Amino acid sequence: MPAPEDTIRRFTVSHDDDGARLDRWFKRHLPQIGFNTISRWARTGQIRVDGKRAKPEDRVEAGQEIRVPPGGESLSKGPQRQRIQLTEDELAEADAMVLHRDRAAIVLNKPPGLATQGGTGTKHHVDRLLEAFVPEEDSKVPRPRLVHRLDKDTSGVLLTAATPGSAAFFSKRFSGRSAKKIYWALVTGVPDISAGTIDLALAKQPGTGGEKMMPDPEGQPARTKYRVVDRAGNKAAWVELEPLTGRTHQLRVHLAAIGHPIVGDGKYGGQAAFLTGSISRKMHLHARRLIIDHPDGVPLDVTAPLPDHFAASMEQLGFDESASDALPEEGPPPPSREEKKIAARRHAKDVRKERRGERRQRTMGSPKAGKPTTKRSAAPAPKKGGVKKGKGSPRPAGKPAPRKPGSK
């Protein structure tokens, strides 16, 4: 409940706001107070967190008490968010997609053909349908937020965050690659190697406005684990995929690059991506399972059933869904090319250090450290008294022999 304007207000940081910046906390809970006011209060020590002065950029922790002085409301509160009015069909569509719902997350099974977000000419999308999960009677309930995306023609598990705090929590898990995503795909032909990792950098294809990707050694690193679950002769294969990076169209480009495009993916496979007969021409790529940490401590593990066209193709090709549990591989992902290069440089540096150490040890063991131990051999010193003269002995150079009288 809001306190009177002349009363100091005290708030306890909730679990959802754990780790948020102080100015972001104000924007979420006291949006009527402007940033300039927050900064002035911070400079003058009027804002306190657990009794201590705080800056707008400081992070707050769950359980801390925030002391807010009275007043500060801006005369111009700015435009209020207008609620999207959904039709009865849209409300039913949103409700039918829900696979799991709790205080932090709403997990959907996105159908193929439905865009995740809007764009030019796209009015119907998942982001619009999230309005269905905001109760009309409580305007303070935050609107769910997208934390990752699926391509328009890709179906399956799509996670949305129910609160701003859980959105930050889940986003960190996706960016840190601790979230495990398993996809199912039907591809044309059968890969020669039944399991492996596709390590192929990707970049935007020029002239497509960023709408199409292509393999490029100078592009962003992209890696995908794959495993052939079953095959229908040499005609098609059922493949399980685990992306280790999250590039645009990564799975589609990688499978097309090894010569086995996803069934129905004409964008990257051309006519080779379509099977003859009664197999659907729709995209056969499905986000089957998602495993991700949850703010409550128990990991979230959700599996999405196949869309109708995918299930029908599986049956026609003789594939049994029970042949795969869509389990991610245990252990850390294999190192990328960049990680391998870094490791190689470190190894070379260690080898050079060892060699320098060996040279130092050899030098320290010599009679005179730091100086060469070999000398040019010198002739033995002559005996005291000079060269002994005798009959037939050679005369010292430089002194001519005396002439005898009468000699020429």
In the Cβ-directed half-sphere of 211, how many Cα atoms lie within 13 Å? 6
pLDDT at 383 > cutoff 60: no
User: How confident is residue 27, by pLDDT bands cut at 50, 70 and 90?
Assistant: confident
Residue ranges of the alpha helices (H) in 176-307? Answer: 250-257, 266-269
Q: Which pLDDT does position 396 carry in this prediction?
A: 54
Kindly give the pairing relationship between strand 98-101 and strand 105-110.
Answer: antiparallel
Q: What is the DSSP letter of 143?
A: P
pTM above 0.75, yes or no: no
Q: Which pLDDT does position 209 carry in this prediction?
A: 73
Mean per-residue pLDDT over the chain, rounded: 85
Residues 155/303, Cβ–Cβ less than 8 Å: no
pLDDT at 306 > cutoff 80: yes
Averaged pLDDT for residues 362-382? 54
Q: Which of 17, 151, 153, 265 is catalytic?
A: 151
User: How confident is residue 3, by pLDDT bands cut at 50, 70 and 90?
Assistant: very low
Q: What Å distances lie between residue 243 and 79, 112, 168, 290, 300, CA to CA?
A: 41, 19, 22, 12, 18
Question: What are the tens digits of pLDDT across the range 64-123?
Answer: 999 999 887 654 444 556 778 899 999 999 999 999 999 999 999 999 999 999 887 889
Nearest Cα neighbor of 141 from 185, 83, 203, 88 is: 83
- Give CA 346 to chain center in angstroms: 23
pLDDT at 280 > cutoff 90: yes
Q: Residue 223, SS3? A: strand
Q: What is the DSSP letter of 279?
A: -
The encoded tokens of residue 278 equal 């009664």
Q: Which pLDDT does position 282 carry in this prediction?
A: 97
Q: What Å distances lie between residue 403 and 122, 267, 396, 399, CA to CA?
A: 125, 114, 16, 12
d(CA 52, CA 213): 51
User: How confident is residue 10, by pLDDT bands cut at 50, 70 and 90?
Assistant: very high
Residue 52 amino acid letter: K
User: How confident is residue 256, by pLDDT bands cut at 50, 70 and 90?
Assistant: very high
Q: Which pLDDT does position 308 carry in this prediction?
A: 97
Averaged pLDDT for residues 176-194? 95
pLDDT at 347 > cutoff 80: no
User: How confident is residue 369, by pLDDT bands cut at 50, 70 and 90?
Assistant: very low
10 Å CB burial of residue 336 (0-12, 13-18, 19+) is: middle
pLDDT at 314 > cutoff 80: yes
Q: Which pLDDT does position 331 carry in this prediction?
A: 53
Q: What is the DSSP letter of 261?
A: P
More confidently predicted of 301 and 177 = 301
Q: Is residue 23 among the annotated active site residues?
A: no
More confidently predicted of 139 and 58 = 58
Q: Which pLDDT does position 380 carry in this prediction?
A: 56
More confidently predicted of 369 and 201 = 201
Domains observed in the chain: 9-68 (3.10.290.10), 92-323 (3.30.2350.10)
pLDDT at 1 > cutoff 90: no
